[in-house]
Amino acid sequence: MGKTTDSPGPGSRPDPVRSFNHWKKKHSHKQSQKKQLRKQLKKPEWQVEREVISRLMQNYEKINVNEITRFSDFPLSKKTLKGLQEAQYRLVTEIQKQTIGLALQGKDVLGAAKTGSGKTLAFLVPVLEALYRLQWTSTDGLGVLIISPTRELAYQTFEVLRKVGKNHDFSAGLIIGGKDLKHEAERINNINILVCTPGRLLQHMDETICFHATNLQMLVLDEADRILDMGFADTMNAIIENLPKKRQTLLFSATQTKSVKDLARLSLKNPEYVWVHEKAKYSTPATLEQNYIVCELQQKISVLYSFLRSHLKKKSIVFFSSCKEVQYLYRVFCRLRPGISILALHGRQQQMRRMEVYNEFVRKRAAVLFATDIAARGLDFPAVNWVLQFDCPEDANTYIHRAGRTARYKEDGEALLILLPSEEKGMVQQLLQKKVPVKEIKINPEKLIDVQKKLESFLAQDQDLKERAQRCFVSYIRSVYLMKNKEIFDVSKLHISEYALSLGLAVAPRVRFLQKMQKQPIKELVVSQDNKVSEPRAPSLTNDEVEEFRAYFNEKMSILQKGGKRPEGTEYGLTNGISDEDEEEKEDEEEMEEKLGKSKGSQPQSVASTDESQKNKEAAVQFLDRGDEEEEEEEEEDGLGADFFKVKRHNVFGLDLKENKALQKKEASKSTVKKKVTKVAEAKKVMKRNFKVNKKITFTDEGELVQQWPQMQKSVLKDTEEEDDAGGINLDKAKERLQEEDKFDKEEYRKKIKAKHREKRLKEREARREANKRQVKSKDEEEAFLDWSDDDDDGFDPSTLPDPDKYRSSEESDSEDMENKISSVTKKKQGMRKRNNSQVEDTGPTSRNRKKAKWETLEPLDTGLSLAEDEELVLHLLKSQS
């Protein structure tokens, strides 16, 4: 079989035509690829980004929570992922894993997880992605609002946002109280992501022109249960009113709110509830070891001192229930020099100082921070070893947040709660109910260092310190007294005088409300002797008293807030004298004690106090109506129970939330009823009160009475006689009356117009007459003065001269007088000109003649003086005239 000539043999060369075709095909393909790439490269950035976004969004629906372990497993923008990586966040925590996907899908989320479990990133990542998706720019204004309950927490969140979102182009702002409002107002309009405290935000909403949230896409409430509780209720309601209904809402907290009412306020749409640790054995971090000790009140300071002495290399936070305790004990402990640096953080410090303390404590490796509950929530101080709760927390939730300042994100930590014997049972029970595992440990009495004597000596030398000790004492007692849970907080079980001694005081300061309280049970005892002897019990507050207290505290708050800034409590070495402010505080306390006394007083007293309480209630309502910057200040000033009235004031009165709300509703409904009063109702009221309009009455010269205002109207007069107002306002009658009044008015008006016209005519006639007269006169004058007008160009009016012709009769006419006056002067002038003054008869009507005639009728006055003397006389007369 021969081979075909076409097919190349094994050693033959390839067909050049075919090779060329092959090469051509390849080349054109490459070319078209290059072309496409070039075309793509030419696309504007935003368009490329939009394509990326649409690809990411397509992946949102595919998110499978079980497959996610890293942030990069979520369909996130490169910018966000880069930010997370740079901040060393790679693996997700449980709450992040479960909520980020839902939030990306645009759902409303309620997230709850233990303290330190990473909730901040769980909402910050969706925040960044939400604006990225919308390609938000600074000109789009406010896109996301993140609200935090305290300034420190807002600041901390802002810092994390800055770190994670640094690759994005959005602008972020921190708006908290204690800063220059004007400065903030200038910038607030350009902010895309706003981290803020509720009060300050509302203040800007109210006061900053152009600031609005109409474009808002997302609202985040950090520590949502706190923000939605009574303390921020009014502020938050007002804020929510200013927000668009169509938005995404994210709520996060370690103790999430389950109140349907709270959530309804936010108008959430089918929210996703994510309780990460709902089924966990404990509600606190597993790495947190929790203990409590029971000791007497008078031992507590020595216990604290001993604790610090044995933990000199550790970082600890000690929680107190009031600012005044922090202020006093901080000073005293600084003097005791325990060998560790001590810091203090509370709401009475100025903002700058608060920030300084916060940052200092973040930086320090070993230190102790004395704090009120403003530091209880959310703050992420690194590497805190111990949380010591010096005063029993208000409730289990507060305990959880306080203790959560340690053992954060996989770290270990220890929490120690100091309880009084009277607090132990109730509190431990509450904690166990909330799945908080606490164990009792005992104090080693040998290790206890008693500092009472040292404190006594400090106070003996320092009057200011002594006064602070007294205030600390009263403040603590009051905080216990005002606690809601009376089973745990029983003021009557406190060893008051021993406690005072432990503070270094020689005697316990007088606490009037306690004295009054103590008398009360004795009275009760006496009364009940006939029946059976009952044990004296701690008095419980009646609702009225609660109301009164509420009013009092609100009033006090408003006074405090209106007042100037408070001095920094943490500065050491103040003057010894009692400051005005301190005096004021003392007075406030006494005032409150007075009130307590009154509320427990006898019948007539209680009547008096009802009036007062009414007044106070009004003050309270006013306070509630006030703007929210103040409200926020108030919350923050004392923190959660930091001072006696701040946060606690909302729930320490023995009322539960429902009752409180009912009370508020009642007040609100009262005010709305007031608002709804119509003008008709008002008019009826006035009529019933026989209200009479003021009358202005004057009398004519003849003694006739004239009522000027309001003008008497016949119709009204008639009607008032006929009026029977028993049935209120009769609209038909009123109409008739109005018509009659209208007629009357028109008639009156016509009369007035007629009178005016007549007056006008008369005036015109008079004017004409006057004009004629003047015309004649001016003609005469013109003629008379023609001759010497050149000489008299200084405008001198000779008529102003006194009459030198005394011999002339005063009965002569005015014109003659005038002429005479003129003549005397002209005579002089004539004299100067050496004129002939001989008498000439008036012979003709010519001007010249008339003038002459005039001159000639004048009697020359012979003064008998020389010319120069005459001149002087005239000058003298002129001067005296002017």
Residues that bind ligand ATP (CB under 6 A): 89, 91-93, 96, 113, 115-121, 254, 378, 380, 404, 408-409
Integer CA distances (angstroms), 152 to 86, 89, 217, in order = 24, 22, 25
Any residues with CB less than 8 A from the CB of 805 and at least 6 apart, and which? Answer: 820, 824, 859, 861
* Residue 340 contacts residue 330 (beta carbons within 8 Å): no
Least Å from the CB of residue 496 to ligand ATP: 36
Angstrom distance (rounded) from CA 338 to CA 740: 92
Q: What minimum distance in Å lies between the beta carbon of 181 and ligand ATP?
A: 28
User: Tokens 């001192």 label which residue?
Assistant: 305
The tokens for 471 are 């205030």
Strand 696-699 to strand 705-709: parallel, antiparallel, or no bridges (unpaired)? antiparallel
Nearest to 467 by CA among 364, 544, 578, 560: 578
First to last CA, the chain: 156
- Buried b / exposed e over 778-800, threshold 16 CB at 10 Å, is eeeeebbeebeeeeeeeeeeeee
40 beta partners: none
**Cα within 13 Å of Cα(24), Cβ side:** 6
Q: From the CB of 362, what's the least distance to ligand ATP, in Å?
A: 11
Comparing CB distances to ligand ATP, the nearer of 301 and 647 is 647
Give the shortest CB-140-to-ligand ATP separation in angstroms: 27
Closest separation in Å from C-beta 369 to ligand ATP: 15
Residue 221 C-beta: closest distance to ligand ATP, Å: 12
Q: What H or E segment, with its residue span, contains residue 524? A: helix 512-527
Minimal distance, residue 322 CB to ligand ATP, in Å: 23
Cα 655 versus chain centre, distance: 27
Answer whether 597's CB lies under 8 Å from 482's CB: no
CB nearer to ligand ATP: pick between 84 and 596: 84
Query: Minimum distance between the CB of residue 256 and ligand ATP, rounded to whole angstroms?
Result: 10
| CB 555 to ligand ATP: min, Å | 34
Shortest CB 102 distance to ligand ATP, Å: 17
Tokens matching residue 246: 């169509």
**Closer of 146 and 557 to ligand ATP (Cβ):** 146
Q: Which is nearer to ligand ATP, 255 or 830 (CB)?
A: 255
Nearer to ligand ATP, 67 or 535 (CB): 67
Least distance (Å) between residue 255 CB and ligand ATP: 9
Residue number with CB closer to ligand ATP (407 or 496): 407
Decide whether 340 or 375 has the Cβ nearer to ligand ATP.
Answer: 375
C-alpha–C-alpha distance, residues 863 and 761, integer Å:
52
| DSSP element (H, E) containing 774 | helix 731-785
Report the alpha-carbon angle 220-222-227, nearest 5: 100
**C-alpha separations of 543 from 217, 399, 520, 536, 540 in Å:** 43, 28, 17, 21, 10
Q: How far is the CB of 156 from ligand ATP (least distance, A)?
A: 8
- Count Cα neighbours of 755 within 13 Å in the Cβ-side half-sphere: 6
Q: How far is the CB of 91 from ligand ATP (least distance, A)?
A: 6
CA distance 191 to 201: 13
Say which residues have a Cβ less than 8 Å from residue 456's Cβ, sequence separation at least 6: 504, 506
CB of 238 to ligand ATP, least distance (A): 25
User: DSSP string spanning 90-159?
Assistant: -BPPHHHHHHHHHHHTT--EEEE--TTS-HHHHHHHHHHHHHHHTT--GGG---EEEE-SSHHHHHHHHH
Distance between CA 589 and CA 584 in Å, rounded?
9
In the complex with ligand ATP, which residue's Cβ is closer, 89 or 136? 89
Question: Closer CB to ligand ATP, residue 375 or residue 511?
Answer: 375
Residue closer to ligand ATP (CB basis): 316 or 616: 316
Is the bond preceding 75 in cis, omega lying within 30 degrees of 0? Answer: no
Distance CA 799, CA 819 (A): 9
Hey, which residues does 415 pair with through a beta bridge?
Answer: 290, 387
Q: How far is the CB of 250 from ligand ATP (least distance, A)?
A: 13
Give the nearer residue to ligand ATP in terms of CB position, either 120 or 299. 120
At how many degrees (to 10) do helices 421-433 and 396-403 cross?
Answer: 80
Between 119 and 331, whose beta carbon lies closer to ligand ATP? 119
In the complex, least distance from residue 441 CB atom to ligand ATP, rounded to whole angstroms: 25
3-state secondary structure of 399: helix
3-state SS, residue 868: helix
Nearest distance from residue 586's CB to ligand ATP, in Å? 37
Region at 822 (left for phi over 0; alpha for psi -120 to 50; beta for the rest): alpha
Q: Considering beta carbons, is residue 155 or 476 the nearer one to ligand ATP?
A: 155
- Comparing CB distances to ligand ATP, the nearer of 113 and 236 is 113
Q: Which is nearer to ligand ATP, 96 or 609 (CB)?
A: 96
Residue whose CB is less far from ligand ATP, 172 or 477: 172
Please identify, using beta-carbon distances, which residue of 112 and 342 lies nearer to ligand ATP. Answer: 112
